[in-house]
Copies of this chain bind each other. A is one copy, B any other.
Amino acid sequence: MKFSPRVDELIKALQCLPGVGPRSAQRMTFQLLERDRVAGTRLGEALSRAMSDVGHCQDCRTFTEQTRCPICDNPRRAEKGQLCVVESPADLLAIESSGQYDGRYFVLMGHLSPLDGIGPDDIGLDVLDRMLAEGPWQEIILATNPTVEGDATAQYIADMARQREIRVSRIAHGVPVGGELGYVDGTTLALSFSGRRDI
């Protein structure tokens, strides 16, 4: 025991958060106790509710409190037969915000990473394969991250889709619009060059 049991318990529990060590956990605990118990109580309730109520959409696997998320539940989203595969709910949100896509999604909640023991079933590719079989799909759009793991995952899913004779595409990677060439990293520039098209 360092402080009192309840205070020590909170300092320890806060360290489950990424990037929070003993020092910042102590600072957080003192700040909540001294200045904002209402917010602290609200956070406690939000945590309990989210941990118990939030599950995954039975179709696309994104986070939701319902059986199916609002996108999968919207029949207009299925009209074009497009399925966009992303790594995380944050990626889904970014694409939604762009307003450029109105099809359905499949959220992997990660990527293939054999070294970490993360195989196809761990990122729901068994579920995705059943979904591909149930179709009809016009196009599978692979929007995994342009990293070694994201590329390998995209390749794996592309093979799955081709076996079912479904068209597969990968979103283009390159220099962002408005970006300055001199500030773009080498990997992005390499992708930008290899993905060049005749004009």
Q: Report which A residues bind B (CB closer than 8 A).
A: 2-7, 9-10, 12-14, 16-19, 24, 26-34, 36-37, 39-54, 62-66, 69, 88-90, 93, 109-110
Interface of A is mostly: helix
B64:A50 contact, CB within 8 angstroms = no
* Given contact pairs A4-B54, A31-B18, A9 touches B89 in the complex (Cβ within 8 A): no
Q: Report the copy number of this chain in the oligomer.
A: 2
Q: Is B45 a contact of A4 with CB atoms below 8 Å?
A: no
B16 contacts A40, C-beta separation under 8 Å: yes
Q: Known contacts A32-B16, A36-B16, A43-B16: does B51 contact A7 (CB below 8 Å)?
A: no
Complex Cα–Cα for A19 and B69 (A): 32
Q: A37-B51, A90-B26 are in contact. Are A42 and B13 (CB under 8 A)?
A: yes
Q: Is the CB of A54 within 8 A of B39?
A: no
A198 → B minimal CB distance (Å) = 31
Task: List, in ascending order, chain B residues with CB within 8 A of A28's CB.
Answer: 17-19
Top-7 shortest CB links A-B: A44-B47, A16-B39, A44-B48, A13-B46, A13-B43, A10-B50, A40-B51
